[in-house]
Structure 1
């Protein structure tokens, strides 16, 4: 094998030893307050840089009924978690079945900012969540003129919902996913190396002929 061809092969094979850019999962918190005062929290892991608040709620564990075609993107119609369930059974009934007149009871959406709940002015499918963020949901009556409810989710910090040991434990499960991605990448690279070596060999043979 000629020196140039050998050098090319070694450089390409060196790619096989380079690890992928896999990283541990990100985490965000979810706080849900039902009508009877019951509170559920969840620490949700996700691989992407960010996810929508609607996707985060679905990954948090409770059963969620949504209206995907509302004017706010995905509207949250009903949330159920065991014995606790509030909302409207869309599409059998309107997603905001209890918000048809002067009294408006619905699932209100909040974001935790600087240690305080802030009523979200965007729909959950339009709001992006990143690592360390916390979303809040509460079934309550909207206050006229603001949309915010008469009750808010209880304050829970990200560290309370997602303690460091829980995040470390979750990250420990990430390597198998990263290994799978690396394995596929390795196979693809190896196949490319073989093809290039064969083509280079044919080219060298023709030059000698």
Structure 2
């Protein structure tokens, strides 16, 4: 079946767009989570959405461990920076977002390009750079997919990566990238003011 793409007229700059509002303008980094659990089927749905985002050569290096029990989250506690402990432990789920340094072993199935697996296997620097870049990209897909599903998502980089790899990841070829605390937002909690962002002219060039 051929997928057809249609062009649509973009809304006026000041017209509200419910999709953009849901993904970008409404959400804030949550200060806390409600007690409502995140069900296993929701985590599967989250992954099934996030996996559809594009990666270089469909390499799909992201690997995720969902910590859903108090026992599992306690394994993470020693790796957390002090400022992240309280918020992480309150979250119903913590997703340890990583990437597989041996992602290229899956390329014969994921990508039809002949010799692609051997090309990455022969160049450690290239494979590591590719895995980290595309794994980070997939991690961003996870965050945005979580928002579309009504979840609050708190990304964290304050942790000991080696500790996570030793105690959380079951496969030693997996490398830690960042943590994503997940849960449902607290009802009735006002949105905090958004922190400043750089303007277009400060952050962008048109050449």
**Same-fold status (TM-score > 0.5):** no
Task: Compute the TM-score of the two structures, normalised by the length of structure 2.
Answer: 0.25
- In terms of Rg, which structure is larger? 1
TM-score (norm: length of structure 1): 0.24
**Which structure dedicates a bigger proportion of its chain to strand?**
1
